[in-house]
């Protein structure tokens, strides 16, 4: 049987939090997608920017693997006949510099390009691009240290480049701005203040590319309430387990669930999501958060252009709800990456 050699790019060059987050998703992906047609290898990067190539992502195997420099890692990778890379890094360097490395090595990878990942990671820039394409976005302003907000509360204060709702605050009174800004600036050097969109619903929409066509996936809706819980926070997304590992908090059908495809909001949001995908120049897949106001109008909040192809990944959950098994989802992305399997077949038969 022809075997496709896939390198999972895991870890973080930024901090231990992102290292653990990456390892959480990558481990689930490796377990769930293991098949005879795949030969998985692992590249694990730590915040000291050392590389390891462990046989698994168990802490013991990682600890037993000798760390090496970038130079030595490149020498090793170029001898491994890697067919493609599956990026699993969620920190800014991982989403940009490390993807760019594989562009230089001319090894294809699943997912969006480093320049687009950098744009999407900066929420204000992503908003500006989709707004220019006709997508509704909340009115906002970009602040640096010392700047004073001019938007009248209620307003959302959030870091311009941070995920998982870290540093996000709903400000109801102008007197609360100082504390909210101080918290947001702990996570980024720039902060967004934007008008608060009154709550109807909050959803996420995933798009995948199959045979060059954009396919809208079922929406995921999040537990929010106009009075008790008007916005989502970090605790709604991630939690720490008893053994010290990170885990997903929004996968219990209580804090998040799949929207019935017959729901009228589905098609409306999918159309807007496809417009966002095209405006940003995405490839292979994309993922967008929307606030739905009481009149049913979707408002773009941010883009999250990553998928680890783990069962807990949002796009994987959406695909499952659409009747697309995880391995089919992965192979679709592989085909798009390698040119609808033509290159994959050539490489696998060597």
Q: What is the CATH number of the domain that holds 263?
A: 3.30.470.20
Whether residue 61 lies inside any domain: the answer is yes
Claim to verify: residue 46 and residue 75 sit in the same structural domain? yes
Contact 86, 110 (CB under 8 A): yes
Give the per-residue pLDDT at 49: 96
Whether residue 69 lies inside any domain: the answer is yes
Claim to verify: residue 162 and residue 78 sit in the same structural domain? no
* Token pair in block for residue 63: 């600890």
CA distance 42 to 85: 10
Q: Pick the closest to residue 206 from 84, 290, 291 (CA basis).
A: 290
Residues whose CB falls within 8 Å of the CB of residue 69, separated by 6 or more in sequence, listed in order: 50, 51
- Report how many domains make up the chain: 3
Whether residue 163 lies inside any domain: the answer is yes
Give the per-residue pLDDT at 342: 46
Whether residue 97 lies inside any domain: the answer is yes
Claim to verify: residue 206 and residue 189 sit in the same structural domain? no
Domain end (from 160, 180, 195): 195
Burial 142-174 (b: 16+ CB within 10 A, else e): bbeeeeebebebebbbbbbbbbbbbbbbbbeee
Give the per-residue pLDDT at 23: 96
Owning domain of residue 241:
119-123+127-133+198-305
- Give me the CATH number covering residue 164: 3.30.1490.20
Whether residue 90 lies inside any domain: the answer is yes
Q: Pick the closest to residue 126 from 291, 285, 277 (CA basis).
A: 277
Give the per-residue pLDDT at 233: 56
Claim to verify: residue 9 and residue 84 sit in the same structural domain? yes
CA distance 332 to 307: 13
Could you list the pLDDT tens digit for every one of the 350 residues in the chain?
Answer: 589 999 999 999 999 999 999 999 999 999 999 999 999 999 999 999 999 999 999 999 999 999 999 999 999 999 999 999 999 999 999 999 999 999 999 999 999 999 999 999 999 999 999 999 999 999 999 999 999 999 999 999 999 987 656 889 999 999 999 999 999 999 999 999 999 999 889 999 999 999 999 999 999 999 886 656 566 554 544 445 555 554 554 455 567 899 999 999 999 999 999 999 999 999 999 999 999 999 999 999 999 999 999 999 999 999 999 999 999 999 999 999 999 544 444 444 43
- Give me the CATH number covering residue 11: 3.40.50.20
Interior angle at CA 193, CA 188 and CA 199, nearest 5: 120
Contact 309, 300 (CB under 8 A): no
Whether residue 322 lies inside any domain: the answer is no
Claim to verify: residue 157 and residue 186 sit in the same structural domain? yes
Whether residue 75 lies inside any domain: the answer is yes
Give the per-residue pLDDT at 341: 44
| Residues pairing with 239 in the sheet | 247
Whether residue 345 lies inside any domain: the answer is no
CA distance 215 to 277: 11
Domain end (from 286, 305, 324): 305
Give the per-residue pLDDT at 128: 97
Claim to verify: residue 159 and residue 77 sit in the same structural domain? no
Residue 243 exposure: Cα atoms within 13 Å on the Cβ side: 5
């Amino acid at each position: 049987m022809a075997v496709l050699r896939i390198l999972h790019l895991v870890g973080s060059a930024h901090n231990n939090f992102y290292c653990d987050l990456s390892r959480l998703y990558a481990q689930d992906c490796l377990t769930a997608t293991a098949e005879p047609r795949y030969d998985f290898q692992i590249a694990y990067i730590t915040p000291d920017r050392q590389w390891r190539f462990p046989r698994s992502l168990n802490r013991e195997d990682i600890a037993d693997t000798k760390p090496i420099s970038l130079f030595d890692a490149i020498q090793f990778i170029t001898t491994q006949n890697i067919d493609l890379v599956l990026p699993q890094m969620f920190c800014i360097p991982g989403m940009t510099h490390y993807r760019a490395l594989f562009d230089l090595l001319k090894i294809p990878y699943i997912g969006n390009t480093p320049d687009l990942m950098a744009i999407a990671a900066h929420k204000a820039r992503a908003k500006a691009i989709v707004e220019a394409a006709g997508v509704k976005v909340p009115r906002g302003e970009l602040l640096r240290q010392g700047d004073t907000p001019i938007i009248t509360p209620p307003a959302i204060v959030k870091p311009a480049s941070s995920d998982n709702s870290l540093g996000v605050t709903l400000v109801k009174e102008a007197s609360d701005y100082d504390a909210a800004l101080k918290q947001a600036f702990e996570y980024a050097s720039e902060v967004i203040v934007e008008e608060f969109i009154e709550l109807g619903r909050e959803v996420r929409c995933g798009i995948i590319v199959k045979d060059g066509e954009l396919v809208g996936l079922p929406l995921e809706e999040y537990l929010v309430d106009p009075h008790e819980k008007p916005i989502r926070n970090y605790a709604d997304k991630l939690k720490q387990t008893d053994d010290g590992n990170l885990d997903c908090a929004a996968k219990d059908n209580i804090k998040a669930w799949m929207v019935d495809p017959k729901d009228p909001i589905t098609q409306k949001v999918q159309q807007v999501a496809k417009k966002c995908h095209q405006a940003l120049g995405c490839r292979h897949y994309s993922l967008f958060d929307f606030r739905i106001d009481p009149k049913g109008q979707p408002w773009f909040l941010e883009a999250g252009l990553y998928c680890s192809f783990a069962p807990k990944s949002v796009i994987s959950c959406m695909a499952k709800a659409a009747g697309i098994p995880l391995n089919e989802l992965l192979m679709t992305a592989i085909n798009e990456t390698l040119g609808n399997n033509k290159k994959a077949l050539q490489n696998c038969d060597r």
